[in-house]
Amino acid sequence: MQRRAKIVATIGPASASEKTLARLIRAGVNVVRLNQSHGTREEHRRLIRLVREVSAEAGRSVGVMVDLMGPRHRLDHFEGARVLKEGDVVGLGASAEADLPLDRDMVRHVEPGEQILIDDGRVQLEVRSKDEERIEAEVIVGGAVSSRKGVNLPDSRLPFRISDKDLSDIRMAVEEDADFLAASYIGTPADVVQVREASRDAGRSLQIIAKLERRRALDHLDEIVLESDGVMVARGDLGVEIPLHQVPVVQKRIIESGWRHARPVIVATQMLESMIEHPRPTRAESSDVANAVFDGAAGHPGDPRDGLRRGDPVGAPFDRAGHRRPQPGRFHGSPGCLPPAVDAGVRLHARIAVDARAPARLGRSLREDGPGGLPPRRGRRDGRPATPGRQSGAARRHDRAADG
């Protein structure tokens, strides 16, 4: 049976050998991802060539995705760690008097009332005042902060820029004939255009996967999906910029947008993360993978950089989920399994769907049709069609029997 999802696997030191790559490809990996935030450019060149050799030997077509670091923002260097307590007021900026050193460009784009999240949101600040050189912010959630920790500004309108490092990585991807560029921290469709033009200037227009990890991107979701060749639900930074309880809802919204605009969607971050250390995924991870597949997304297992067990192959959970769709008997609200009439209603934002054949059975018909479409129209015993909008006696008896 054909698997309905594709698998994207991040390659790192623990999985970079020829033997391990061959094993991953045999297990069902469709695309390998090379994270440009780690490793050297020469290491990535070697890996791309090795993937091409191993996939050719296996008789498989395996894509290569070069994941750009993007405009990542961090605290500047300082000595030691600083403990921030709730209610403290701290200064951030480029001046020597600042408690936490921050790039001047970030200071310029932050406004009073906006949040500053440090170290994946573990420390939360709120801006009280600012001038050209310095921000005064109150500590909302405290904790220890050390040099070079990541900074997220979910409320700010930071401009998107392609760094010199990203330009060099794009040139490397084009020279090594990679297939995809994953563009980090996309906020508007114009950001996708910038990356595409940089790829074209480097010699070839690679397919652009827009990583949706900023709150701002959600305001331009459909436009970004249309401008890109595919999108990634980057749940790591996205889960920092929006409340965690909103991430599953946003994930489904992004997948639905991909379906409407015929763009593939990759669900990323912590899928099968425990399999870095253990031979089997957790039950929560298995459900996570299955729901992503049922919704119509491709998968993205956890990064096998730090370890790779010899147990369950990386593709097995995707195979098991991808070979089974939800069974009739329940209504599943994803674009991949909606019956045609309900799907049309969802796309047209209809408030109610009416089954003219049996209005009283509307609720159950929506639950029971599953992936097979609307149930066939029931007729009279003599084969003639029933009166439109009414059930035949045989249909009513069938329904009473089904209801027990």
Residues designated catalytic:
33, 74, 211, 269
**In what side-by-side order are the strands of the sheet with 123-130?**
100-101, 89-93, 134-141, 123-130, 115-118, 151-152
Strands 63-67 and 180-183: parallel
Distance CA 247, CA 254 (A): 10
Distance CA 236, CA 269 (A): 6
- Residues of 333-351 as b/e, b for ≥16 C-beta within 10 angstroms? ebbbbbbebbbebbeeeee
Distance CA 115, CA 117 (A): 6
C-beta neighbour count of 207 within 10 angstroms: 17
Identity of the amino acid at 345: G
The tokens describing 283, both together, are 């039950």
Give the CA count within 13 Å in the CB-facing half-sphere of 368: 10
Q: Quick one: how many helices (H) and strands (E) in the chain?
A: 14, 15
Which stretch of DSSP H or E encloses residue 106?
helix 104-109
Question: DSSP secondary-structure letter at 28?
Answer: T
Residue 192: strand, helix, or coil: helix
Share of the chain residues as helix, strand and coil, in percent rounded to the nearest 5: 40, 20, 45
Long-range contacts of 160-165 (CB under 8 A, 24+ apart): 160/71, 160/185, 160/186, 160/187, 160/188, 160/190, 160/191, 160/194, 161/71, 162/71, 162/194, 162/195, 162/198, 163/69, 163/70, 163/71, 165/36, 165/69
Residue 370: strand, helix, or coil: helix
Q: Partners of 231 in the beta sheet?
A: 210, 265
- Residues of 62-76 as b/e, b for ≥16 C-beta within 10 angstroms? bbbbbbbebbebbbe
> Is the Cβ–Cβ distance between 229 and 207 less than 8 Å?
yes
